[in-house]
Amino acid sequence: MNTFYKKYLLEATKYRGGEARPESQANLIKLSSNENQFGPSPDALEAIRSSLNGLHEYPDNDDSRLRKALVEHYQNKLEVDHFFCAPAGSEIIELICRAFLNAGEEIIICNPSFIPFKVFSEKMGARVVQVPLDGKTFQFNISLILKSITPQTRLVFLASPNNPTGNIICRSDLEALLANLPQHVILVYDEVYHHYVEASAYSTAIDFVNRNQNILAVNSFSKVFGLAGLRLGYGYGPPKLVSYIRCLLKPFLNSTLAISGGIAALNDEPFLLKSIRNNTTQKRLFYKFFTEIGLKYWPSEANFILVKPEIPVKAFCRYLLAQGIMVRPVQIHDEPYVRITIGVPAQNQKLFQALRTIHENQSLIYQGISLN
Ligand SMILES: Cc1ncc(COP(=O)(O)O)c(C=O)c1O
């Protein structure tokens, strides 16, 4: 092999992300990627439209305008020096990896969790140490995370709510984890689904950042703001960590459309509230319906729910797709599950109808026999 290749880059796990909507299927109900089913924030759309005529000019040189809007959105609990912005939450994760990881160092992830934690770390040549979630409840194992830390560990990744399981780490466990983290380790705390959380035991990273603890929060405009196609995300953390990450930021990194859309979305409170309210009420209906048809599910604090179908996952997903509904098969500890995004009422009703048919015709659907 040529010597100019980095072996660890060639060997890094590949990540493709979820499937996009197939081109010819405008009517498909896409409940596979945890997007906001109301569409984009209307205020963001309007801001993007009015920015179009300025596309011949470069965008803001840095992210200061967006950071100011974030300070307001966070009601001055954080300051501009706490934030950094990039084209999507995934980029925020990659920036953190690029900033803090050298080949041969270690990171800790929970398994299962958001796959890019592993992928982007491997691309830096880091060794990935996996700490399994509880096999039944998917709860985080804080003591095993702490026991897995070595002098080579640099980052611990934790998503709360976690994707694909939907559960959170409670504030007291988060406090315990941070209190016991050695100084050479940073906790990367992914909170991209935090708007949807109902549990009072939940905490974002804000208080810990204000105490200057070693924590970096990951956030995205792809979820509740409905802007997954725009590609915009932000992180926040103690200024000393953030100013170091900023060494990697290029001028004009975020596009004019992303900056305008992002700022408008942050201020579109009615849309935010509508989206959160829908999720909360529809989630209750999912639970009720799943219980009624005996479909095993895990309570979720996010905008998706993990289920374990009674029939093989392949047949389950294939039938739903034939009904115009796309869901996401996931593999956890070598067992197949399905992750379903909570949609708007009309979509959810269609989903329930299809799930009822599966429940009532299990063996036919398993064998791929047409019900017509
Ligand atoms: C846990 C988690 N973190 C981060 C992201 C990144 O989202 P994006 O790159 O679209 O901002 C996702 C997307 O699905 C996610 O589920």
pLDDT along the chain (372 residues), means of 10: 87 85 85 97 98 97 96 98 98 98 98 97 97 95 98 98 98 97 98 98 98 98 98 98 97 97 98 98 98 97 97 95 96 95 98 96 73 61
Instruction: Considering the domain delimited by 15-38+270-366, tell me its CATH architecture.
Output: Alpha-Beta Complex (3.90)
* CATH numeric code, 42-267: 3.40.640.10
Which of 109, 163, 195 to probe ligand 1 with, by most ligand atoms within 8 A of CB?
163
Q: Tell me which residue has its CA closest to atom 8 in ligand 1.
A: 89
- CB-based contact 242:201 (threshold 8 Å): no
Which regions of the chain carry the CATH code 3.40.640.10? Answer: 42-267
**CA 213 to CA 171: how far, in whole Å?**
14
Report the predicted TM-score, pTM, of the whole model to 2 decimal places.
Answer: 0.95
User: Residue 22: its pLDDT value, please?
Assistant: 79
Among left, alpha and beta (phi > 0; psi -120 to 50; other), residue 313 is: alpha
User: Residue 287: its pLDDT value, please?
Assistant: 98
Ligand 1, closest atom to CA 161?
A: 1
Q: Tell me which residue has its CA closest to atom 11 in ligand 1.
A: 89
User: Residue 372: its pLDDT value, please?
Assistant: 56
Nearest Cα residue to 94 out of 253, 228, 204:
253
Pocket, ligand 1, Cβ cutoff 6 A: 34, 88-90, 114, 159, 163, 190, 192, 220, 222, 228, 233
User: Residue 352: its pLDDT value, please?
Assistant: 98
Which of 223, 301, 305 to probe ligand 1 with, by most ligand atoms within 8 A of CB?
223
Residue 235 C-alpha to ligand 1 middle, in angstroms?
12
Q: Tell me which residue has its CA closest to atom 7 in ligand 1.
A: 89
Secondary structure (3-state) at 321: helix
Q: What does the buried/exposed string (b/e) look like for 82-112 if buried means 16 or more CB atoms within 10 Å of the residue's CB?
A: bbbbbbbbbbbbbbbbebbbeeebbbbbbeb
Nearest Cα residue to 222 out of 359, 91, 355:
91
Give the DSSP letter string of 27-86: T-EE-SS---TT-S-HHHHHHHHHHGGGTTS---SSSHHHHHHHHHHTTTSS-GGGEEEE
User: Residue 348: its pLDDT value, please?
Assistant: 98
User: Residue 19: its pLDDT value, please?
Assistant: 83
Secondary structure (3-state) at 111: strand
Which regions of the chain carry the CATH code 3.90.1150.10? Answer: 15-38+270-366
